[in-house]
Amino acid sequence: MFSRLTRPITVLALAALLASTAAVSQLSAGRAHAKTLTFYLIPGISSDAFYITMHVGAKAAAKQLGVNLVFQGDPNAFSAPTQIPILNAAIARHPDAILIAPTDKQALIAPIQRAVAAHIPVILVDTTINTPNIAVTTISSDNVAGGKKAAIALAGAVGFKGTVAALSVQPGVSTTDQRKQGFEAQLKHYKNIKYAGIQFDNDSATKAASLTSALLARYPDLAGIFALNTNSGIGVTNAAKTSGKAGKIKLVEFDAEPVEVQALRQGTISALVAQDPYTIGNLGVKVAFNYVNGHRSGIKKHYGTQEAIITKANVGTAAIKRFLYTRNG
């Protein structure tokens, strides 16, 4: 059943992950007297359960390897202007590696290039930039495939007819741009579904809620909404509840933040497209460790992690447990 719910991890990715883990344990055994390495993990926004869970995974690997891990991000905004000074401050401390989720695929190129020029290896986790080759590797879900899965789930939830809309963070974020691409391409297959387009909330649940209320006023027969990340989803869910349309309007949301999971259990959300941020963070630290220790030949330019479609029917199953995010960092 698990394989029907998730994209099977590729053989190559799994082999690379295992090889990386094996090399890691050999290395950690031989590093008893080496200096303690310091890695920075810079999330898109530090208060988001997705990045908190990524931090938990990264911390577990750091503990195993004796790495000092610093988690530093802005708690209030998912934005390049708030993230760049945090990256600059990290570069100034010259850590052994930086793991970063760039908040904008263009604006973060030059700041990341500065880290690379300072000989600090950079690993891109979750989001990427337009020049990913300057990084050691990128680790992420397949966000185009995730957007496609969301369209399939939403089309089914609305009975393959009616008007649907989408809410996202802002243009220029690699992950959500790819989700939009996958969603909109798949939606074209349903001739009786009309697309009212996508709106942007700057990762503010409050703005997402007011945009949703306006959408519901404009399209009283709106059948469904796709929310492309957690904060968009929380806002959409709140607006559906306050308008009295919870359960009637079909919601499909990315991520599996506790509030989203609760709304799924209550029937307000039809399906979640959950990611595996724990593995993204865990693998990121292990790859960085191998790289810093000169074990570079087996490192791939990209590692794909899984997504899972979560519904009321499978949310309680063992296979889904690892896709549920935590707020306890």
Stretch that binds ligand T6T, among 34-42, 110-118, 225-233, 315-323 (CB under 6 A): 225-233
**H/E element, 279:** helix 277-292
According to CB under 6 A, which one of 230, 282, 305, 306 is a site residue for ligand T6T?
230
Options 39, 40, 50, 303; binder of ligand T6T; rule CB under 6 A:
50
165 sits in which H/E element:
strand 162-168
Figure out which of the listed residues 229, 237, 279, 306 binds ligand T6T, where binding follows CB under 6 A.
Answer: 229
User: How remote is the C-alpha of 213 from its chain's centroid?
Assistant: 26
CB-based contact 304:9 (threshold 8 Å):
yes
Site string for ligand T6T, 256-295 (x = CB under 6 A): -------------------x--------------------
Contact 135, 234 (CB under 8 A): no
Binding flag, residue 231, ligand T6T (CB under 6 A): yes
Contact pick of 13, 23, 37, 48 for ligand T6T (by CB under 6 A): 48
Q: What's the one-letter identity of residue 295?
A: H
Show the tokens assigned to 108: 């973060």
- Contacts of residue 19, defined as CB under 8 A and 6 or more positions apart, other chains included, come to 298
Please tell me whether residue 227 adopts helix, strand or coil conformation.
strand
Phi, psi of 118 (to 5 degrees): -85, 15
Least distance in angstroms from the C-beta of 18 to ligand T6T: 25
Residues in 136-175 at the binding interface with ligand T6T, rule: CB under 6 A? 173, 175
Considering the complex, state which of residue 102 and residue 162 has its C-beta at the smaller distance from ligand T6T.
Answer: 102
Which residues contribute to the site for ligand T6T (CB under 6 A)?
Answer: 44, 48, 50-51, 126-127, 173, 175, 229-231, 254-255, 275
